[in-house]
């Protein structure tokens, strides 16, 4: 079957092609919160260099750093003012050279965050662009004339909303025109229609590849091609809101694959790694256009269907209770589709934009926390795709404490959201309180608290007498790397095992196929991976409150449980199989992998 854009959708599974980037696991570092080396309370590159052995010990192949380039830090470095210089508090270009060298010495690759949908408003290109309609950089950004209301006041060219509140358009007084910014108004969107912009991006890519970078994570890369007529978005949200979701007109726009193809040519020359971030698209056919093996655009994409699963009717700061069967449909959809169609998945539950996975998908209750962290590692770590671990996830770090008031938060998204709420509802303490608890649950700052290295002051993220830019989580005395790295029962040790198994048994865990088992069960997520004579059964009980569950073992997997062996498990004694009536007693949050190779029996 063939659809538009020459994507062929295959009815049967081809043999999955091998590639080094499929067998790699990635560790994401949030530079400002990883390790401070000079006591200014901000993590930095020398700090990361001092922890190089930690990555090697964990067993990752690639380290990805969130942006470290020069930036006014309106959005924590996702607003770049110079693509060739380093944000001074993080270090220098020479520090980056040393970092790359240190990683390479340990056989680890370095992936850089490429933020080119937009720049900072302090970038020289934008300063020029806004200075006059005649400036040679004018057309590097997206400028439009105002609309006018009945009184003749200027209004934005359309009703698109920005991710960080208000309209996505900002009126610039110098020329009386609006520019587009899908994120903060200090993050103007580049005009990719302009070949000079694309050439400038290609130069940046080559520059860093030549300097030793091994690949890129590309920020909101599916937003770079917009519908140029800029239509109004349909009213899909609260209709009293003037600003609506315009993503249907800028996500995966008309020229996306042409632009990605140009970048892909450069990446191919260097055999570079690539993962694109693609919010707002849930159709795998759309994403296959970028990640199809022979398309030579991107290796893989972060899709958002899992991390958007609990967004309620009022957006991310409202809740939605989701049944496990929803998660099963989502996971199975992507697993099966990419496997059958020569695409590839990026596997993640956390990053710098998401709350902590234990708090969100399982239970951070102290009696369950370790089991929960290991359960999620099992659930995610044996799927098909390239595995991403976000700093602290390997330690079971959780969301910010319930005691955090709004003044503890640092993220522009949350602070703008809060300000808009106070403006709209100044005298509604109940609403303020309920919103604050949503913020504690979903805010991006949950992921941004400093790494918890040990039980010393500030968890040794920074020196005892300095103040971290954002508070360390209260639980650091118990929950830290020092207490876990040498403990064989820790979450850290468990992740290490998962990473090792993916390497040792790459045939099955990287290249094998995926089958969902018992899709209706609302507590237990079970799937198999198989390759040749090998089958692995992965069981993850998401429930912590149902007590023990007597799981009727489906016929398809009974043999694996009876004759196979356990590769990894999050309870210290083996799973309780009652062979006679084909039941397994699955304990709260229990997870394990049973493995059978029939050629070896
Ligand atoms: O995020 C893009 C994005 O759409 C979300 O993950 C975003 O954080 C979320 O919608 C807010 O609710 C990327 C970066 O990962 C993020 O840190 C940046 O703020 C954003 O792009 C702009 O560069
Ligand atoms: Ca520092």
- Do the domain assignments include residue 185? no
> Which residue's CA is minimally distant from atom 6 of ligand 1?
353
Residue at 309 is within a domain: yes
Instruction: Indicate whether this model's pTM tops 0.85.
Output: yes
Strands (E) in 303-416, as ranges, are 311-312, 315-319, 346-347, 386-390
- Tally of CB atoms within 10 A around 211: 14
Mean pLDDT, rounded, for 486-510 = 98
What's the confidence (pLDDT) of residue 601?
60
Alpha-carbon distance of 124 to 305, in angstroms, equals 36
Q: Quote the CA–CA distance of 416 and 546 in Å, as a whole number.
A: 39
Give the CA dihedral 577, 380, 399, 394, nearest 10 degrees.
90
User: Is 12 inside any structural domain?
Assistant: no
Q: What ligand is nearest to the CA atom of residue 412? A: 1
Going from the Cα of 89 to the center of ligand 2, the distance in angstroms, rounded, reads 6
Q: Which residues have a catalytic role annotated?
A: 219, 277
Q: Assess contact for 355 and 447: CB atoms under 8 A.
A: yes
Instruction: Give the atom of ligand 1 at the shortest distance from the alpha carbon of 307.
Output: 6
Which of the ligands is closest to the CA of residue 447? 1
Give distance in angstroms: CA of 307 to centre of ligand 1.
12
SS3 591: strand
CA of 530 to the centre of ligand 1 (A): 35
Domain with residue 134: its CATH number is: 3.90.400.10
Measured CA angle at 63 (ends 206, 384), to 5 deg: 105
78 CB near ligand 1 (under 6 Å): yes
pLDDT reading at 2 higher than 50: no
pLDDT at 240: 85
Which residue CA neighbors atom 1 of ligand 1 most closely? 220
CB 343, CB 292: distance < 8 Å: yes
- Per-residue model confidence as pLDDT tens digits over 202-238: 999 999 999 999 999 999 999 999 999 999 999 998 8
Q: By residue range, what is the domain housing residue 588?
A: 513-600
Q: How confident is the model at residue 581 (pLDDT cuts 50, 70, 90)?
A: confident
Residues 393 and 295 in one domain: yes
H or E, element range at 535: strand 534-541
Same domain, 248 and 316: yes
Residues 6+ apart with CB under 8 A from 1: 8, 9, 10, 11
- Whether the CB of 183 sits within 6 Å of ligand 1: yes
Where is the domain boundary, 463, 493, 523? 493
Cα 111 from Cα 272, distance rounded (Å) = 9
Does residue 6 surpass a pLDDT of 70? Answer: no
Q: Give the tens place of pLDDT for each residue, 441-457.
A: 999 999 999 999 999 99
pLDDT of residue 1: 47
| 449 CA distance to ligand 2 middle (Å) | 15
Q: How many structural domains compose the chain?
A: 4
Q: Are residues 265 and 323 in the same domain?
A: yes
Based on the domain organization, do 32 and 170 belong to the same domain? no
Nearest CA to ligand 1 atom 8: 353
**By alpha-carbon position, which residue is closest to atom 2 of ligand 1?**
220
Burial 335-366 (b: 16+ CB within 10 A, else e): bbbbbbbbbbbbbbbbbbbbbbbbbbbbbbee
Residue 210 CA to ligand 2 centre (angstroms): 27
Condensed to tens digits (0 to 9), the pLDDT of residues 260-284 reads: 999 999 999 999 999 999 999 999 9
Where on the phi/psi map is residue 572: left (φ > 0), alpha (ψ -120 to 50), or beta?
alpha
Same domain, 429 and 518: no
Confirm whether 504 is domain-assigned.
no
Judgement on whether residues 328 and 416 belong to the same structural domain of the protein: no
**Terminal-residue alpha carbon distance, the chain:** 40
In a domain, 4, yes or no: no
The percent of residues above 90 in pLDDT, for the chain, comes to: 94
Residue partners of 342: CB distance under 8 A and separation at least 6: 10, 14, 16, 17, 292, 293, 294
**Do both 176 and 202 map to the same domain?**
no
- Is 427 within a domain? yes
Start-end of H helices in 232-283: 256-270
**Mean pLDDT confidence for 64-90:** 99
CATH code where residue 203 lies: 3.20.20.80
Same domain, 395 and 416: no
Q: Is residue 472 part of a domain?
A: yes
Q: How far is CA 412 from the centre of its chain?
A: 18
User: What is the predicted pLDDT for the residue at 574?
Assistant: 78
* pLDDT (0 to 100) of residue 12: 65
User: How far, in Å, CA of 201 to CA of 197, rounded?
Assistant: 6
Report the percent of the chain where pLDDT is more than 70. Answer: 97
pLDDT higher than threshold 90 for residue 241: no
pLDDT in tens, 21-41: 999 999 999 999 999 999 999
Given 417, 442, 467, the domain boundary residue is: 442
The confidence score (pLDDT) of residue 198 equals: 99
Is residue 272 domain-shared with residue 310, that is, in the same domain? yes
Residues 221 and 341 in one domain: yes
- Is residue 68 situated within a structural domain? yes
User: How far from chain centre, in Å, is Cα 481?
Assistant: 22
**126 in ligand 1 pocket by Cβ < 6 Å?**
no
Shortest-distance ligand to the CA of residue 36:
2
> What is the predicted pLDDT for the residue at 111?
99
Residues 102, 228: Cα–Cα separation, whole Å:
45
Residue nearest to atom 9 of ligand 1 (CA): 353
Pocket test for ligand 1, best of 31, 118, 219, 353 (most atoms within 8 A of CB): 353
Q: Are residues 169 and 206 in the same domain?
A: no
Tokens read off for 409: 């938060």
Same domain (yes/no): 427, 473: no
Half-sphere exposure of 455 toward its Cβ, with a 13 Å CA cutoff?
5
């Amino acid at each position: 079957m063939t659809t538009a854009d020459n994507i062929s959708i295959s009815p049967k599974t081809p043999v999955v092609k091998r590639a080094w980037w499929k067998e790699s696991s990635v560790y994401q570092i949030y530079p400002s919160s990883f390790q401070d080396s000079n006591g200014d309370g901000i993590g930095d590159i020398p700090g990361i260099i001092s922890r190089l052995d930690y990555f090697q010990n964990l067993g990752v192949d690639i380290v990805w750093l969130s942006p470290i380039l020069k930036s006014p830090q309106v959005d924590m470095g996702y607003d770049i003012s110079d693509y060739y210089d380093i944000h001074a508090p993080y270090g220098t270009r020479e520090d980056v050279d040393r970092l790359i060298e240190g990683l390479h010495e340990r056989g680890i690759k370095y992936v850089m965050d490429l933020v080119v949908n937009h720049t900072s408003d302090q970038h020289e290109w934008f300063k020029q662009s806004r200075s006059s309609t005649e400036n040679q950089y004018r057309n590097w950004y997206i400028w439009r004339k105002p609309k006018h209301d009945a009184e003749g006041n200027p209004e934005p060219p359309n009703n698109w909303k920005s991710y960080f509140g208000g309209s996505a358009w900002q009126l610039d007084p110098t020329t009386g025109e609006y520019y587009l910014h899908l994120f903060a108004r200090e993050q103007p969107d580049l005009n990719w229609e302009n070949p000079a912009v694309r050439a400038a991006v290609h130069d940046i890519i080559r520059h860093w590849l030549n300097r030793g970078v091994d690949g890129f994570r590309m920020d909101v890369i599916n937003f770079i091609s917009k519908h140029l007529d800029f239509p109004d978005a349909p009213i899909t949200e609260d209709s009293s809101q003037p600003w609506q979701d315009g993503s249907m007109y800028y996500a995966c726009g008309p020229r996306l694959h042409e632009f990605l193809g140009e970048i892909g040519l450069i990446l191919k020359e260097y055999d570079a790694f690539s993962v694109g971030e693609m919010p707002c698209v849930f159709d795998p056919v759309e994403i296959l256009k970028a990640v199809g093996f022979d398309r030579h655009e991107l290796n893989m994409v972060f899709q958002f269907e899992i991390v958007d699963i609990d967004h309620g009717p009022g957006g991310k700061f409202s809740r939605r209770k989701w049944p496990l069967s929803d998660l099963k449909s989502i996971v199975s959809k992507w697993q099966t589709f990419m496997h059958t169609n020569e695409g590839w998945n990026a596997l993640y539950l956390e990053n710098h934009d998401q709350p902590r996975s234990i708090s969100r998908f399982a239970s951070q209750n102290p009696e369950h926390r370790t089991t929960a962290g290991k359960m999620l590692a099992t659930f995610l770590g044996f799927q098909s795709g390239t595995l991403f671990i976000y700093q602290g996830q390997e330690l079971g770090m959780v969301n910010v404490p319930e005691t955090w008031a709004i003044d503890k938060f640092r993220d522009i998204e949350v602070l703008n959201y809060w300000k808009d709420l106070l403006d709209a509802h100044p005298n509604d303490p109940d609403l303020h309180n309920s919103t604050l608890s949503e913020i504690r649950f979903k805010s991006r700052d949950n992921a941004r608290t400093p790494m918890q290295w040990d039980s010393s002051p500030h968890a040794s993220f920074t020196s005892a007498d300095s103040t971290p830019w954002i508070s360390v989580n209260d639980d650091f005395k118990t929950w830290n790397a020092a207490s876990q790295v040498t403990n064989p029962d820790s979450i850290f040790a468990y992740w290490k095992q998962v990473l090792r198994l993916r390497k040792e048994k790459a045939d099955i865990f990287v290249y094998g196929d995926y089958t969902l088992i018992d899709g209706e069960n609302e507590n237990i997520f079970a799937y198999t991976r198989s390759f040749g004579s090998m089958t692995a059964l992965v069981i993850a009980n998401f429930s912590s409150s149902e007590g023990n569950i007597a799981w009727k073992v489906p016929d398809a997997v009974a043999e694996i449980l009876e004759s196979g062996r356990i590769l990894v498990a999050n309870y210290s004694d083996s799973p309780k199989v009652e062979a006679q009536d084909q039941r397994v007693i699955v304990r709260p949050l229990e997870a394990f992998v049973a493995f059978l190779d029939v050629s070896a029996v």
